[in-house]
Amino acid sequence: MSAKSVMVLGTTSGAGKSWLTTALCRYYARQGLKVAPFKAQNMSNNARVVATSVDAAGGFAAGPSQGEMRPPRGAGSHTQWATVGAEIGSAQYFQALAARAVPEVRMNPLLLKPEKDTQSQVILLGQVNAALSRMEWRGRSASVWPVIAQALDELIEENDVVVIEGAGSPAEINLKASDIVNMRVARHANAACLLVTDIDHGGAFAHLYGTWMMLDEGERQLIKGFVLNKFRGDAKLLAPGPRMLQDLTGVSTVATLPMWWQHGLPEEDGVFDMTPTLGGAVARTVAVVAYPRISNLDEFQTLKNVPGVHLKWVRSPAELAGLAAADWIILPGSKHTSGDLAWLRTQGLDRAVAVHAGRGGAVLGICGGLQMLGEALIDPHGIDGNGPGLGLLPVVTLFEADKTVQHRQASFSSVTGAWAALSGVVVQGYEIHHGQTAPHTAMAAAGDVARAVMPDGLAWQNSGGNVLGVYLHGLFEDPAVLLALFGASTPTLDSVFDGLANYIGKHFEPGVLDALIA
């Protein structure tokens, strides 16, 4: 088996590469083909847990994403192996599900998780690599390319179609010599490439032509079509632009994709739009604090689809003003808890959250948000940073050198107050964190005890019942949780993927998508 490769490039970040790649994965999978996604390098704090098995020689093999794992390829009964949790970018995780494939580390061999403006944690084949994290960027690219190429070659060998996503723009000439994610990948896979642009921001034809012009002649030959994304209006008004562009480049515009606000796919970069609530009147506002290093924001996508819930991203106390006691504040995950906590205080959001909690309003902290809710952050290994917490939960977080990365299934015990409906609910989710949280010893001795409402320190609640902190990501993606908290269900991811495939099947020129893999 040797796969045909289709690659989605973009004129800019945010042009629509990720969702189009996802749509193509489902489109080809529905034809009965074995499909895998691939992105050589992703920079995102939105990550998902997949399972890998690692042998003594460092080889790896993917296992099913819910934690059932198998020995590496070629491993005999004598092979010593252990199972470990691994991380890939959320976009590739969803693309794998769209492809009806098991998400695994080869689909995103390099993941960069920004911790500061000039610093990222480097994840290679799903595992934190401290040496690469310290390495200068261009030197790092040379070191990781053999790993990236091997992962891609193996996927090509094992599948009928590999759908590849680029990053940013392939025309960044300052980065070309150290490229490991755009045209170097396209050439290596001999991929049929689509170049997509966001026409809603203007300058689409210039972006397409300029990007094409800055490619080498051999690279231009790989561009098989231009895609105009997020178009609003009458497509007839685009004429004669597409024809003139084809005259200049020899490349035709193969699709004009209308603006689609609620396709249902979780966003990869940045907070998603705040579209009107579904199902009429707003019964509850859920305010998610969007600090600079927010992570795993994609897990809140399902809240957009719950009738009567208005999802609101907030960055200032003014945006929290007017919340009723029935409304919720969520402190989400963070890639740099102490830094985002300092930002919270600078904005005055610490006081606003405390006021809401003080009058009985519900506050939920997830992962880094749980750590912020406690009394203190203690960091003996220099992982994140020391500092006082918000003091809304009588717990303390100790950062450990080893990172916890795993799928978990756990049940809530007796939960009280605002979160009582979660009592007894079995939840499936995933953990990605360095910190471990436990009750504050002195406060517990004085009678202020945090209640453990999940086993193994996964969730803690205050005595008043309105403040809850959990380590499990994916809480609102669990149907049992949505049913308990809202009495509602939302569209499945599988139906979202089918909708994306239907969409591109309708709006691409006839025969184009099949011709890409002919």
Q: How many whole angstroms separate alpha carbon 337 and alpha carbon 370?
A: 10
Do 410 and 379 lie in one domain? The reply is yes
Just list the catalytic residues.
367, 473
Question: Is residue 470 within 8 Å of residue 464, measured between CB atoms?
Answer: no
Query: E strand or H helix at 56, and its extent?
Result: none
Q: How many whole angstroms separate alpha carbon 265 and alpha carbon 446?
A: 47
Do 246 and 342 lie in one domain? The reply is no
Do 379 and 471 lie in one domain? The reply is yes
Do 57 and 74 lie in one domain? The reply is yes
Q: Locate 385 and state its tokens.
A: 């940073």
In a domain, 332, yes or no: yes
In a domain, 436, yes or no: yes
Do 367 and 249 lie in one domain? The reply is no
In a domain, 274, yes or no: no
Identify the CATH number of the domain in which residue 458 sits: 3.40.50.880
Q: How many whole angstroms separate alpha carbon 13 and alpha carbon 478?
A: 30
Helix intervals (H) in 99-198: 130-134, 137-158, 183-189
Cis geometry, peptide bond prior to residue 258 (ω within 30 degrees of 0): no
Give the pairing of strands 387-388 and 376-378: antiparallel
Do 216 and 304 lie in one domain? The reply is no
Do 196 and 310 lie in one domain? The reply is no
Helix (H, G, I), strand (E, B) or coil at 437: strand
Give me the DSSP letters along 63-102: E-TTS---PPTT--TT--EEEEEEEEEHHHHHHHHHTT--
Q: Locate 204 and state its tokens.
A: 């689409």
- Domains in the chain, number: 2
Question: Is residue 433 within 8 Å of residue 472, measured between CB atoms?
Answer: no
Do 251 and 303 lie in one domain? The reply is no
Whole-model pTM: value is: 0.83
In a domain, 267, yes or no: no
Do 292 and 380 lie in one domain? The reply is yes
In a domain, 278, yes or no: no
Do 349 and 367 lie in one domain? The reply is yes
In a domain, 231, yes or no: yes
Do 224 and 295 lie in one domain? The reply is no
Q: How far, rounded to the nearest angstrom, does the alpha carbon of residue 142 sit from its chain's CA centroid?
A: 26
Distances (CA, A) of 290 to 44, 272, 460: 15, 11, 22
In a domain, 128, yes or no: yes
Do 154 and 175 lie in one domain? The reply is yes
In a domain, 268, yes or no: no
> 385: domain range?
284-490
The one-digit pLDDT tens for each residue of the chain (518 residues) are 689 999 999 999 989 999 999 999 999 999 999 999 999 999 888 888 886 643 433 444 443 333 322 333 333 333 232 335 899 999 999 999 999 999 999 999 999 988 777 778 898 999 988 888 888 777 788 889 999 999 999 999 999 999 999 999 999 998 888 899 999 999 999 999 999 999 998 899 999 999 999 999 999 999 999 999 999 988 888 999 999 999 999 999 999 999 987 777 776 655 555 444 445 578 899 999 999 988 888 899 888 888 899 999 999 999 998 888 889 999 999 989 999 999 999 999 999 999 999 999 999 999 999 999 999 999 999 989 999 999 999 999 999 988 899 889 999 999 999 999 999 999 999 999 998 999 998 887 887 888 999 999 999 999 999 999 999 999 999 999 999 999 988 888 899 999 999 999 999 999 999 999 99
